Amino acid sequence: MKTRLLLSALAATMLVSGAAYAAGTTPAAKCTALTTQWNEVALTHKTHAKFSVAQKEAESGIKMCKANKDATGAQAIDKALNLLGVKPAA
């Protein structure tokens, strides 16, 4: 019984801390993280039916990130990852 209570408390703490981390992430940091994730995903998803559309979206997002339009850029990369069925890490 104590083990279940402890595991439940641990799981709740992890959920709260994860949400707090995500809320504290700057748009620039999110851009960097999503760009890195995209570069890794692009290597393994080239045969995906929606890859070319996702690639254009990601390239647009990366370009926006480089132009200091971090929030818009991150959204575009996020969309590209979702097109491939990949959950964005940031």
pLDDT in tens, 15-28: 434 434 454 689 99
Q: Sign of dihedral through CA atoms 70, 36, 87, 22? A: negative
Domain that holds residue 36: 26-83
Task: Please indicate, yes or no, if residue 78 is contained in any of the structural domains.
Answer: yes
pTM, entire model = 0.72
Q: What is the pLDDT of residues 39-57, one digit of tens each?
A: 999 999 999 999 999 999 9
Q: Where are the alpha helices (DSSP H) in the chain?
A: 2-24, 27-44, 51-66, 70-83
Q: Please, what is the average pLDDT of the chain?
A: 82
Please state the domain count of the chain.
1
> Given the structure tokens 């990130």, which residue do they identify?
65
For position 2, what pLDDT does the model report? 53
d(CA 19, CA 31): 18
In a domain, 69, yes or no: yes
Q: Establish if 8 belongs to a structural domain.
A: no
